[in-house]
């Protein structure tokens, strides 16, 4: 998995000003897996990265996701929230969203 400092510089690494698109991770079910468009550097390959399970598919190949328990997914989710200056309490009190809503049905 990319360290947070690298994740924030992905647009620079791939010379794009575009934001990532998001799709559901096929391994852990996280609904906000980053999908970066192809560029001159990545040729025709798009770059996929899941911040929860570590799944990554890019020009260097595939890094498979590690199997995770519910507790491990929630711990990784809390780290992801922290990197975005959020926490579970704020999600529930301000946005009325539960962690389960960030994962596909049955994935958590």
Q: What pLDDT digit, counting tens, does each position of 49-75 carry?
A: 999 999 998 878 888 898 999 999 999
Q: Are 34 and 25 in contact (CB under 8 A)?
A: no
DSSP 64: P
Domain contains 107: no
Q: Mark whether 75 and 97 lie in a shared domain.
A: yes
Instruction: Read off the tokens for 12.
Output: 């620079």
User: CA–CA separation, 88 vs 95, rounded Å?
Assistant: 10
State residue 67's pLDDT score: 92
Q: In terms of residue numbers, what domain contains 30?
A: 4-63
State residue 61's pLDDT score: 83
User: What pTM did the predictor assign?
Assistant: 0.76
Which residues have a Cβ under 8 Å from the Cβ of 7 and sit 6 or more positions away? 34, 49, 51, 83
Q: Are 62 and 46 in contact (CB under 8 A)?
A: no
Domain contains 36: yes
Q: Mark whether 48 and 75 lie in a shared domain.
A: no
Give one DSSP letter per residue of 14-38, joined into a string.
TT--PPPEEE--TTT-BTTEEEEPP
Q: Mark whether 44 and 92 lie in a shared domain.
A: no
At residue 10, does pLDDT exceed 80?
Answer: no
User: Best-predicted range by mean pLDDT among 46-50, 65-69, 76-80?
Assistant: 76-80
């Amino acid at each position: 998995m990319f360290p947070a400092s690298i994740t924030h510089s992905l647009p620079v690494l791939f010379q794009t000003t575009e934001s990532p698109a998001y799709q559901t991770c096929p391994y852990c079910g996280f609904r906000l897996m980053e999908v970066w468009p192809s560029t001159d550097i990545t040729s025709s390959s798009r770059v996929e990265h899941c911040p929860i399970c570590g799944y990554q598919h890019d020009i260097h190949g595939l890094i498979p996701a590690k199997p995770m328990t519910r507790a491990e997914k929630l711990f990784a989710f809390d780290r992801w929230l922290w990197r975005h200056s959020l926490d579970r309490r704020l999600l529930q009190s301000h946005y009325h969203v539960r962690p389960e809503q960030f994962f596909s049905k049955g994935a958590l």
